[in-house]
Amino acid sequence: MMKKIQVILVDDHQLIRDGIKSLLQDAQQIEVINEASSAAELFQLLKCQKPDILILDVSLPGMSGIEITKVIQKEFPSIRVMILSMYIGEDFIFNALKAGARGYLHKNINSYELITAIEEINKGNEYFSTQVSDIILKSFVKKAHTGVKQGEEKEEILTSRELEILKLVAEGFSNPEIAEKLVISIRTVESHKTHIMQKLLLNTVADLVKFAIRNNIIEL
C-alpha cells in the first residue's frame, strides 16, 4: 500500500481542528499524525515527527502562521506549508508566499478542495483557493499597470520598540499614556508612530489597528 500523506494540523481552535480531522478521515490517502494549538506546541512536536505537510492557521496566539512558515522553511525545508486563513488581503497572501508557503486557502472552501490542495502540495505543486488566486491575479495586473515589479514591496520590519508602541496604540492607549508607560517624551511616541506608519504604508489609526489584529500583535 502507498504511504499516506502525513499532515500536522495547527489551529488555536480545537473545534476547527476536530472538524478538519474529521473531514480528512474520509480521505484514505491522508493521515493527520498530530496537531498543535500554538507555535510552541508545534515546535515541540517537530522534534520527534516530521510531517509531509503542515496545515497552518494564519492567526495564532504568540507567533503568526507566517512567522512560523519562515522558521519552518529554514529549519525543515522538506516540510511543505499550507496556510489556511480567514483573510484574503493581498499583503497577507504575498507575505505568506514570500515566507515560503506552498499554498494559501481561504476558509471558505469545501472539504473536496482541501483534500485536492493537500494532494497537489504534496506533489510539489502550489495550490490556491479560487478567491485567493483571483486576488493574486488582480494584484499582478494592478502592479503591471502601475509599473511596480513584484518583490519591490516593503520589506521593512518593525524594531522591537516600534512593535511595543504599535501594540499600545492598537490597544487604545493615547500618546500621553504611552509616553508615561514607557517613560519617554510624547514627541518620541509620535516619532515612533510616524515611522511605523511609513514602514507599513498605513495612513490611519484604523488601518494600524487592523494590521495589529491580522498580525496577532493584539487580540480582537
Partner DNA sequence: ATTTAATCTACGTGAAACACGGAGGAGGTT
Partner DNA sequence: AACCTCCTCCGTGTTTCACGTAGATTAAAT
Given the rule CB under 8 A, which residues bind a copy of itself? 12-16, 18-20, 22-23, 25-26, 84, 86-87, 105, 107-111, 114, 169-174, 203-207, 209-210, 213-214, 220
Residue 69 vs residues 32, 77, 143, 193: alpha-carbon distances, Å: 19, 10, 25, 28
Residue 136 vs residues 91, 95, 118, 139, 200: alpha-carbon distances, Å: 10, 12, 20, 5, 20
Interface region with DNA, contact rule CB under 7 A, candidates 113-121, 125-133, 200-208, 210-218: 200-208
Among a copy of itself, DNA, none, the one that 109 touches (CB under a kind-dependent 5 to 8 A) is a copy of itself
Of residues 102-141, those binding DNA (CB under 7 A): none
Which cell numbers in the block locate residue 176?
A: 500621553
Q: How many CB atoms lie within 10 A of CB 22?
A: 11
Q: How many residues bind DNA (CB under 7 A)?
A: 23
The single-letter code of the amino acid at 65 is G
> Does 171 participate in binding DNA (rule CB under 7 A)?
no
| CB of residue 24 to a copy of itself, shortest distance in Å | 9
CA pair distance 163, 172, nearest whole angstrom: 14
Helix, strand, coil share of the chain (percent; to 5)? 50, 15, 35
> Does 187 participate in binding DNA (rule CB under 7 A)?
yes
> Does 159 participate in binding DNA (rule CB under 7 A)?
yes
> Does 148 participate in binding DNA (rule CB under 7 A)?
no
Q: Which residues form the interface with DNA (CB under 7 A)? A: 159-162, 174-177, 182, 184-188, 190-194, 197, 203-205
